[in-house]
Amino acid sequence: MRAGLVDEYHLFVRPAIVGGGNAFFPDDVRVDLALLDERRFSDGTAYLCYGVKDIAQG
C-alpha cells in the first residue's frame, strides 16, 4: 500500500456489531478510491471493488 503497488481492493463486508477492531489501512496510508463494482447478497454481505483513483480514472 505504501509503495503504491496495489491498484484494486476487493472487499467482502459483513455487518456485525463489535466493540472494536483493526483498521483496514495503516494510520499513515492515504488512498483515494473509486467504487468500480458492488454486489449485495441475501445474508447482508456486500462485495465492494475499489480502484485507486489515479489508475481507475486513467
Left if phi > 0, otherwise alpha if psi is -120 to 50, otherwise beta: which for 18? beta
Q: Does 26 map to a domain?
A: no
- Which pLDDT score is estimated for 56? 47
> Domain range for residue 37?
1-20+31-58
Q: Does 25 map to a domain?
A: no
**Percent of all residues in the chain with a pLDDT value above 90, rounded to a whole number:** 43
Q: Which among 45, 40, 35, 38 is positioned nearest to 14, based on CA atoms?
A: 45
When divided into structural domains, the chain yields a total of: 1
**31-56: per-residue pLDDT in tens?**
889 999 999 999 999 999 999 987 54
Q: Sign of torsion, CA 26 10 48 15? A: negative
Mean of pLDDT over the chain: 85
**34, 56 Cβ separation under 8 angstroms:** yes
d(CA 43, CA 57): 32
What is the chain's alpha carbon radius of gyration, rounded to the nearest angstrom? 13
Q: Does 50 map to a domain?
A: yes
- pTM, two decimals, is 0.74
